[in-house]
Amino acid sequence: MRTQVAIVGAGPAGLFLGHLLRQAGIDAVVLERRDRAYVEGRVRAGVLEQVTVDLMDRLDLGRRMHREGLVHTGTNIAADGELFRIDMAALTGGASVMVYGQQEVMKDLFDAAEPRGVKVIFDAEDVALHDIDSAKPHVTWRKDGVEQRLDCDVIAGCDGFHGVTRAAIPAGVLKTFERVYPFGWLGVLADVPPCDHELIYCNHERGFALASMRSPTRSRYYLQCGLDEKIEDWSDDRFWDELCLRLGDEAAGRVTRGPSFEKSIAPLRSFVGEPMRHGRLFLAGDAAHIVPPTGAKGMNLAVSDVVMLAEALSEYFLDGSEAGLDGYSARALARVWKAERFSWWFTGLTHRFPDRDGFDRKIQVAELDYIRGSRAAQVTLAENYVGLPLV
């Protein structure tokens, strides 16, 4: 088999790239280790920046999103129970975000893949990269016990944080930067109306909480928890009690309790691997970088990476110029690091750090109070939250 671009991984990065290349008339094959149900079933964040909304539209995939998604022009912060609103639209000249679950985005991408000729091979085991330093790289894998080989010009590593593509970059070349946080997020999905029509990011003495949603009838809530905590110890009752405590009386009074149908604990991490290119291998999305979920930048960063990568690949395959490919890593990393900074800062502002003392807590409270009273601080928060421009 031969193609122009071998894409490893069919998460948001790999599938968006597959669609972008298809639209540009560039031949690509997506290799995915798992099956569609697994990839689509993973519960992730659900806040789309304008960059992501624009891409859905550009690919003519935005119809259901505009019908079912919720446009949010503001977001809320609660500091020890007292709420204030960040009017994102007023602070940014009209920008907003779209609340639409990553699972829905994936469904739209998969549904359109086959009819449009985006080739996805599922259940590809033991994907391995070969000759990435040469002009003729290839990829091998096993499917149904049979060895397969794909020759290509370029490999796109879209296989997430635990994938194989980043590991193909020699250790002496790849520089990694990492921060692991001493807590996780316990997330719950429940078919109950959300407690607010917008999100509430909540800093409380007992730890962070987030009130989010998937629709007017489905709520998504999170609680900061210890990394050693067990799901079994969190009954629904305990979860709702703790959530209401942290949200404070005003929002807690509007919480509708109900049975959860998904409950999971995820660790928080900041990570960047540089450069995002080695030879004919180009990394995009979680394969290159991870952000903590505070601010919901994960999928949006995967999208900005692949928009830039698709532009570079179009220049290469359609115009014969390598300039875009040469500039890809630096261009992508400039935006990635700003989102890393924002996600790290927003995490620091809103979480309880077990290893920090009373002084740190006072500084946190002072910063929240400053943001509440300062338009300048709110503009900074809002322009990062809605997403920085693609430059």
Residues annotated as part of the active site: 72, 201, 293, 297, 385
Residue 256 DSSP one-character state = P
Closest CA to 270 of 338, 351, 180, 346: 180
Binding partner at 295 among ligand APR, ligand PHB, none, C-beta below 5 to 8 Å by kind: ligand PHB
**Which C-beta is closer to ligand APR: that of 10 or that of 77?**
10
Query: Residue 216 has which token pair?
Result: 């007017």
**Which amino acid, one-letter code, is at 41?**
G
Interacting positions 347-386 with ligand PHB (CB under 6 A) = none
33 binds ligand APR (CB under 6 A): yes
Cα–Cα distance measured from residue 78 to residue 59, given in angstroms and rounded to the nearest whole number: 37
Query: Residue 210 has which token pair?
Result: 């987030």
Helix axes 12-24, 102-116, angle to 10 degrees: 40
Count of residues that bind ligand APR according to CB under 6 A: 26
Interacting positions 47-106 with ligand PHB (CB under 6 A) = 47
335 binds ligand PHB (CB under 6 A): no
Binding partner at 294 among ligand APR, ligand PHB, none, C-beta below 5 to 8 Å by kind: ligand PHB
**Which C-beta is closer to ligand PHB: that of 12 or that of 293?**
293
- Nearest 10 degrees: CA dihedral of 23, 161, 100, 64? 30
Instruction: Give the Cβ contact number of residue 131 at 10 Å.
Output: 14
- Nearest 10 degrees: CA dihedral of 109, 280, 286, 319? -50
Q: What is the distance between the terminal CA atoms of the chain, rounded to a whole angstrom?
A: 36
Interacting positions 294-313 with ligand APR (CB under 6 A) = 298-299, 302
Binding partner at 47 among ligand APR, ligand PHB, none, C-beta below 5 to 8 Å by kind: ligand PHB
Instruction: Give the Cβ contact number of residue 134 at 10 Å.
Output: 10
Binding partner at 160 among ligand APR, ligand PHB, none, C-beta below 5 to 8 Å by kind: ligand APR
Of 10, 105, 247, 382, the residue at the interface with ligand APR (CB under 6 A) is 10
* Contact set with ligand PHB (CB under 6 A): 45-47, 199, 210, 212, 220, 293-296
* Contact set with ligand APR (CB under 6 A): 8-14, 31-34, 39, 44, 124, 127, 158-160, 163-164, 285-287, 298-299, 302
